Structure 1
Amino acid sequence: MRSLDLRVGKRLLWVGAAAYPLQNITRVYTFTLTPRRKDATMLFLKRAALTLAVAFGLTILAALSAIGNQSLAGGILMFTWLGAVGAFVFSLVEMFSVVGAPPQYVLAVETSGPSIAMVTSSDPRQLDQLVAPIVQAIENPEAEFQVKVEQLFVNPKNYHFGDNVNMYGGSGNVGVGHS
Structure 2
Amino acid sequence: MPDVPPPARTAPPATVELRVSKRLLWIGSAVYPLHNIARVHTFLLRPRRKEAVLRFLRYAAGTLLVAFVAMLPGLPSLAFEGPESGAAGYVAWVWILAAGVVVWFFIEMMSVLTATPHHVLAVETSAASTGVVTSQDPRYLERLVGQISYAIEHPDTEFRVTVERLTVSPNHYYFGDNVNMYGGNGNVGISG
Amino acid at match of 1:110: E
- TM-score, normalising length: structure 2: 0.83
Equivalent pairs, count? 173
Task: Determine if the alignment matches structure 1 residue 15 to structure 2 residue 24.
Answer: no
TM-score (norm 1): 0.89
| Corresponding position of 1:55 | 67
1:164 partner SS: coil
Q: Tell me if the contact between 1:10 and 1:142 (Cα under 8 Å) persists in the aligned partners.
A: yes
CA deviation string 1:59-114 (max 9, x = no partner) = 34321233369533123212201111111111001001111100011000001112
- Is residue 163 of structure 1 aligned with residue 182 of structure 2? no
CA contact (8 A) 1:164 1:177 kept: no
Percent identical residues: 51
Higher percent of residues as strand: 1
Residues in 1 aligned to 2:77 and 2:130: alpha-carbon distance in whole angstroms: 56
Q: What's 1:173 paired with?
A: none
8 Å Cα contact 1:163-1:177 kept in structure 2: no
Distance 1:79 1:2, change over 3 A: same
Q: Which of 94, 98, 112 matches 2:126?
A: 112
Q: 1:146 aligns with which of 152, 156, 160?
A: 160
* Corresponding position: 1:6 with 2:18: yes
Structure 1 gaps of 5+ residues are 171-175
2:106 aligns with: 92
Q: Runs of at least 4 residues of structure 1 off by over 6 A?
A: none
Q: Which residue is equivalent to 2:10?
A: none
CA distance in 2, matches of 1:16, 1:58: 50
Q: Report the 3-state secondary structure (helix = DSSP H, G, I; strand = E; otherwise coil) of the residue aligned with 1:85.
A: helix
Give the corresponding residue for 1:39: 51
